[in-house]
Structure 1
Amino acid sequence: MTAKTRTPGLPIATTKQAALWIRSQLAREPWRAALAVLFAVVGAAAILVPVYVLGRLVDDVLAGADTSVIGAVIVQILLAALAAGVLAGAANYLISKVGETVLANLRERALEHALLLPLPVLEKAGKGDLLSRINEDVAAIAKFVSNVLPAAVFSLTLVALSYVAIFSIDYRIGLGASIAVPFGLIVLWVYLPRVGPTIAAERVAMSARSQALVSGMQGLPTVHAYGLENDQLNHIDAASQRARARILSSTQGLSRVVSAGKIVQYIGLAVVFYISFVLIRDDQQITVGEATIVALLFYRLFAPMQNLLFSFNEIQAAVEGIRRLVGLINSEMVREKGSGTEPQGAGLELENLQFSYDGHTTVLHDVSISIAEGERVALVGSTGAGKTTVAAIAAGTLKPDRGQAKIGGVDLSELGSKTLRKHVAIISQEVHVFSGPLFEDLRLANPFADHDALHNALHTVGALHWVENLPEGIATMVGEGGYQLTAAQAQQVALARLVLADPAVAILDEATAEAGSAGAHELEHFAYEATQGRTALIVAHRLTQAARADRVVVLERGRVIEDGPHAKLLKSKGRYAELWSAWEGRAKDSVNDDDIEAQQAGT
């Protein structure tokens, strides 16, 4: 058996690996798990008491006992029912609590590892796969934990105790009742090899549906621009149809196994009746009351066994969900944790970087950039020159195919994720504002930031005035369902997070691009303030940013072609001077920044 089952998306753990992970989690809840099992066993035993009492009543009546025994029987049944209800409730509560604790740990660990996935891995696997694991798989497991698991544990306990009770009356009837077991196993043997792949295919189809929805939403401006609404809807509809077909297939399979299970149960009941009749007829080897007990016990198994069969798809879906989440947790795709070595200093060294996204087309060719501690370096170049790729490698988001990215003499891969994020932060033009109070959004960068720290950070990036004018100030709900921030305001929030995180190295990848021409110069100033005293690599969206930097590095077609201060590069009359001349031309030609950007891209 391979270590992991490989799929087109993210890896899936084997059933054995998933079971080992669950066992390790249950080991953290030994007493609660033990009490849950104890209550389930005693509660199931209490359910069997009325059956025994009724069977003995039959023998008493046949023996001519006084009718007053009926009163005692009623009291015994009521007490047993009360005990069974209390114990079953306690067992269900404890089982649910243990299951919810394990699920919470599973969800948190999976989310933690999802956040550590390198961007190329996520793009290759598809965001839909990840979203379906975090959403649909977690929902399937949660449904299993809250609805199916308590009932399944209780049902299995009841089945086991019922068989023990039947064997205790007469082993021959017990063997007859056990005839249902091999037939039931045959049904499962036929069904299980099909249901596993069916559920797995269902999950893959649901991942594809999620991917179609995500792609459509992310590309909405392009869809509208080219009138592709119908094509996109057809794509989503086709993915939804495939997912629905998979769900229908698994439901039909469940219906067949439930029907086969009913046939097996009635065959077992017929065998129990026949053996009981023979034993009563031949020398009264069992009493009528004992035959009644056996028949009632076996018939009582119909309901729990049916419940287990009806829940089989939900059980399989939960198992598959656990495998997918444990596969994510165990994923070798997650960035290596490293040794957690602390860098000595904050100088950034990019040495002989070479990188390809597809393994064939090289986008960076031996790129080397050295940034001294506290120095700001602007990275400029035409569209597609490789600027964003360099920024991602410098931030540790991408790993170069060849070469090294170092901070304070330590390779980024040796820092470990937590140490890396402690020392390096990246801000891109795509800024996400999380739903919730604004102060909670800011504290994502520093959970321990107090009121003064939050206000100082907002003041540094020029956001304090508009934040104080919000309906509830810094406590205003923002993001989805709350106050909608403008693109410039969202960028200021990102810059405030940078100030609060206080990393030694800051990477700004066109962090002012979404502000628009009107607010660009102001946002550039605040980005400059936020990077004060830090080692900074700035992918300059506007050349005014480059002019304020200590040095400018010009990148073209994945190669460094110029490196030096702004004034020196202008005097050299090279590529940077051409870009700057085009930029300055906006004043006399009265063109806007977007025209200049287009001119840069085509130059």
Structure 2
Amino acid sequence: MTTTPLPIAAGTRTRAVLLTFLRPERGRLAGALALLIAGTIAGLLAPPLLGRIVDLATRSAATSDFVVTGAALVAVALVDAVLAGFGTALLARAGESTLARIRERFVESALRLPLEQVERAGAGDLTSRVTNDVTVVGEAARSALPEFTRAFLTIVLTLGGMAVLDWRFLVAALIAVPVQVHTVRWYARRAVPLYARQRVAVAAQQHHLLATIDGAPTIRTFRIAGEHSGRVAVRSQHAVDLLLQGIALMTRFYARLHVAEFAGLAAVLATGFFLVRSDAVTLGTATAAALYFHGLFNPINTALALVDDAQAAASGLDRLIGVADLAVAPRTVTPRSEAPTAVEVSGLTFGYHPDRPVLRDVDLRIRRGERVAVVGSTGAGKTSLAKVIAGVHDPVSGAVEVPAGEVALITQEVHVFAGPLVDDLRLARPTATDDEVWAALAAVDAADWVAQLPDGPNTEVGAGGHVLTAAQAQQLAFARLILADPPVAILDEATAEAGSAGARLLERVAAAALEGRTAVIVAHRLTQAVTADRVVVLEQGRVVQSGPHSSLIEEPGPYATLWQAWSGQRDL
């Protein structure tokens, strides 16, 4: 299937959405700004105080004057540190709260995406957005944003302080600005597309890496590890190459900034020399001006260096908001009706590639309460049919109607969510009472082993918690099905564990969970077809036989051949 990445928001849209998320934080932002301004002003008193010490030294002033000035320096430093600390913390909290809202919106949107769109994008696209991009944006919210704000205020207020000392110092300092502006524009033009390519490259790398890890058993079986390792290596190398390009670009960026620093400091020192020589200012004032400009080195470098972080964060935000801002059509849930037909498939054609259909002109009507087993050889289209009926994929042509209402799909790949087991179950119905949860567990023969867990149903399961066997995880999936109570259930290899010691248990559990429901069972084990009301046989994406098991085994055809092969294996 061709990979189609999820959308990336345009910069203008990202800014508009970001402003919307920032509105609840206006109070914190205003408070943080006030504290940072006050702290910065306090800090800017240090150079004039140091200049005063120079003037005191040139006049051979009394020791008490030095002591008072030194005490003032200490007080200024303490006030600056306290106010800056509180302001930075408040600003970081506002940034984190905003990022939390974006993450929540992202997850909400991602969960509402059509599964077909997620599959087309590949596993690496979503995972890279929710891991790498969130990490980069989170670091920007926690540190880059406060640092940039503090640096920006320092730059603006310092230039104001230089103007207060003498306007000619300000003019001299501004000589560095054209070089800095040119450097930033030069860097931004190259950095924005570079970081965007880096994000895409990392997503592709993760996609191939996850696919290789997930398919490791198959890869080893067919001895194609070298080929897949090569693919991962190529994607990884591409990501590394882009990273190295970014580092080289940043090195050139800093080199240009040093030129601006040299030019500005030389201009300020020369101005101070001529002003002191003409008795326009004191030596202490010239010293304060030089210290002011020298004090700009760090905030300017910080602010401009954070352009690098800002570009990375902006790229990450574009990718997050690209998903969070998706206008996903609300899912239309057909209300349950008493119509005799539960599922109707007419003229269905479906393929993962438009020119290679997997299902062709499939017509299938399933009566309310009927259990239909779908069988066929590997590649016949059984799983594809199940996913199209479940709504995972949209038909290329034809239609699927479910007058009965909602459809639930259970596959062999069951996920156990991290957290208390009871919360895992209540994902299907958050309002389920304890009695209803225990009733669902009892129906799937799980009540006994759940009661024996360290904390019973409150035991932590999933990642980092109590490890459940595959059969136990499948029992939880069937218990969720009972709690969700959909009128139509589709099982695709949902009892695959029945090939192990838990065979009879899982088949009994499945039967209990399907009680009173219309069921479509993709039967990879033909014993499931024996108990079905009807067997539908697929061959090369078409329905070639349909009828009860007892009738189909008596007539020549694909099903009789499959049954003979199956029953012959079981007799061995």
What TM-score comes out, normalization by structure 2 length?
0.91
Q: In the TM superposition, what are the counterparts of 1:485-524 in structure 2 within 5 Å?
A: 485-516=468-499, 518-524=501-507
- Aligned: 1:10 with 2:6: yes
SS of equivalent residue, structure 2 residue 502: helix
- 1:45 positional shift: 1.1
Deviations 1:228-248 (A, max 9, x none): 445444443443333223222
Question: How many angstroms apart in 2 are the aligned matches of 1:66 and 1:444?
Answer: 77
Aligned to 1:336: 329
Aligned to 1:474: 457
Aligned to 1:179: 175
- 1:22 positional shift: 1.3
Alignment partner for residue 52 of structure 1, among 48, 54, 73? 48
Equivalent residue letter for 1:125: A
Distance 1:554 1:230, change over 3 A: closer
- 1:340 positional shift: 6.1
Alignment partner for residue 281 of structure 1, among 277, 282, 289? 277
Provide the alpha-carbon RMSD of the alignment: 2.7
Aligned to 2:26: 30
Aligned to 1:399: 394
Question: How many angstroms apart in 2 are the aligned matches of 1:43 and 1:396?
Answer: 58
SS of equivalent residue, structure 2 residue 93: helix
Which stretch of structure 1 is more off in the superposition, 155-164 or 224-233? 224-233
Question: How many angstroms apart in 2 are the aligned matches of 1:339 and 1:448?
Answer: 22
- 1:126 positional shift: 2.2
Asked whether the 8 Å contact 1:554–1:562 carries over to 2, the reply is yes
Which stretch of structure 1 is more off in the superposition, 373-382 or 349-358? 373-382
Asked whether the 8 Å contact 2:368–2:404 carries over to 1, the reply is no
Q: In the TM superposition, what are the counterparts of 1:126-141 in structure 2 within 5 Å?
A: 126-141=122-137
Question: How many angstroms apart in 2 are the aligned matches of 1:377 and 1:241?
Answer: 49
Asked whether the 8 Å contact 1:345–1:407 carries over to 2, the reply is no
Deviations 1:384-412 (A, max 9, x none): 222211211111111112222223388xx
Question: How many angstroms apart in 2 are the aligned matches of 1:177 and 1:292?
Answer: 14
- Aligned: 1:76 with 2:86: no
Which stretch of structure 1 is more off in the superposition, 210-219 or 49-58? 49-58
Asked whether the 8 Å contact 1:512–1:541 carries over to 2, the reply is no
SS of equivalent residue, structure 2 residue 318: helix
Q: In the TM superposition, what are the counterparts of 1:243-254 in structure 2 within 5 Å?
A: 243-254=239-250
SS of equivalent residue, structure 1 residue 251: helix
Question: How many angstroms apart in 1 are the aligned matches of 2:311 and 2:214?
Answer: 32
Alignment partner for residue 534 of structure 1, among 492, 514, 517? 517
SS of equivalent residue, structure 1 residue 337: coil
Question: How many angstroms apart in 2 are the aligned matches of 1:387 and 1:581?
Answer: 20
Deviations 1:95-147 (A, max 9, x none): 11111112222222223333333343333322122221111111112222223
SS of equivalent residue, structure 2 residue 432: coil
SS of equivalent residue, structure 1 residue 433: coil
Aligned to 1:354: 349
SS of equivalent residue, structure 2 residue 44: helix
Distance 1:565 1:310, change over 3 A: same
Deviations 1:430-470 (A, max 9, x none): 22223444333323323343433332212111222333344
Question: How many angstroms apart in 2 are the aligned matches of 1:540 and 1:498?
Answer: 19
SS of equivalent residue, structure 1 residue 146: helix
Aligned to 1:560: 543
> Structure 1: any 5+ residue segments left out of the alignment?
1-6, 411-422, 592-603
Asked whether the 8 Å contact 1:378–1:546 carries over to 2, the reply is yes
Number of aligned residues: 568
Alignment partner for residue 463 of structure 1, among 426, 432, 446? 446
Alignment partner for residue 157 of structure 2, among 146, 156, 161? 161
Deviations 1:179-237 (A, max 9, x none): 21111011112222222222223223322332232122111112222344454444434
Deviations 1:532-552 (A, max 9, x none): 122322212223323323333
Which stretch of structure 1 is more off in the superposition, 493-502 or 312-321? 312-321
Question: How many angstroms apart in 1 are the aligned matches of 2:492 and 2:77?
Answer: 68
Aligned to 1:110: 106
Asked whether the 8 Å contact 1:45–1:161 carries over to 2, the reply is yes
Aligned to 1:387: 382
Q: In the TM superposition, what are the counterparts of 1:261-276 in structure 2 within 5 Å?
A: 261-276=257-272
Equivalent residue letter for 2:504: H
Distance 1:349 1:33, change over 3 A: farther
Question: How many angstroms apart in 2 are the aligned matches of 1:229 and 1:200?
Answer: 30
Aligned to 1:122: 118
Question: How many angstroms apart in 2 are the aligned matches of 1:166 and 1:82?
Answer: 23
Aligned to 1:241: 237
Asked whether the 8 Å contact 2:375–2:535 carries over to 1, the reply is yes
Which stretch of structure 1 is more off in the superposition, 510-519 or 562-571? 562-571
SS of equivalent residue, structure 2 residue 45: helix
Aligned to 2:371: 376
Distance 1:472 1:99, change over 3 A: same
Question: How many angstroms apart in 1 are the aligned matches of 2:57 and 2:338?
Answer: 93
Question: How many angstroms apart in 2 are the aligned matches of 1:562 and 1:90?
Answer: 74
Distance 1:20 1:132, change over 3 A: same
Distance 1:373 1:168, change over 3 A: farther
Which stretch of structure 1 is more off in the superposition, 569-578 or 514-523? 569-578
Asked whether the 8 Å contact 2:360–2:542 carries over to 1, the reply is yes
- 1:8 positional shift: 5.8
Equivalent residue letter for 1:364: L
Asked whether the 8 Å contact 1:343–1:407 carries over to 2, the reply is no
